[in-house]
Amino acid sequence: MSHSKMGEHQIYQILRNAIFNAELPPGTQLVESSLAEGFGVSRTPIRSVLSRLKYESLVRIIPNRGAFVYCPTPEEAEQIFFVRQILEPEATYLAALNASSSDLDSMNLFLDQEEQYYQQNQPHLALQAIHSFHFAVIEACKNPYLIQYLQEILSLTHIILTFYDVSESNTTDSNHEHRDLYDAIYQRDATRAKQLANEHIPSIVKDIDFTKKLNHSLSIDQIITRYTPK
């Protein structure tokens, strides 16, 4: 079924949202010809969209096979969180020293969103708010090298949590931990902020279960229908 022609950015947003809502699980093949037909475009914008998703580590392109939705393996996840455990507490320490009032406002906004989405039983949106909160903390450290490396690490951990997080029953604890971290940064208590970040990352890891049963992939037509404004 062919839909009315869409712009490249709209196609990108639709596929990205579908991945972050776990409606295109890891290993799902994104076939250029099927996407082009579904979105009513040529293959050229589809290739551009897949390249953008690859840059964000959401898609892996395998030569002679095609593009597939990506999520790190359990072994890769262990390595990713090892790096996050080393770098993020240091960035959090710096954030407590360097955060501007605008940085603090952004952090607080994302925490409000996290709480609101959990109250509305929208865990995937809450997860995106949490990702935005952590990235706001990282940006507040004002060290461009830490920001660069942690941007990729946070994106990868966000992908892992999108598919394998089993913490829905612990949402109150999650928000409290984030609030405590924010309070330490707000109060310029760098040592306390670093300590809380050190303690927080293992609590994220314990809520990951790679045996979690994933949803079946939606068809492209179903995804387009779901994410296209009526």
What does the domain layout of the chain look like in residue ranges?
A: 8-70, 74-205
Tens digit of each residue's pLDDT (9 = 90 or more) over 164-216: 987 755 566 788 999 999 999 999 999 999 999 999 999 999 989 998 888 77
| Distance, CA of 199 to CA of 118 (rounded, Å) | 22
- Alpha helices, DSSP H only, in 165-189? 171-186
**Is the confidence at residue 2, as pLDDT, over 60?**
no
Of the candidates 124, 108, 221, the residue with the CA atom closest to the CA atom of residue 171: 124
Give the total residue count for the chain.
Answer: 230
The hierarchical CATH code for the domain 8-70 is: 1.10.10.10
pLDDT of residue 177: 93
Q: What is the CATH number of domain 74-205?
A: 1.20.120.530
For the segment 95-148, what is each residue's pLDDT rounded down to a tens digit? Answer: 999 999 999 999 999 999 999 998 898 888 899 999 999 999 999 999 999 999
pTM beyond cutoff 0.95: no
208, β-bridge pairs: 165
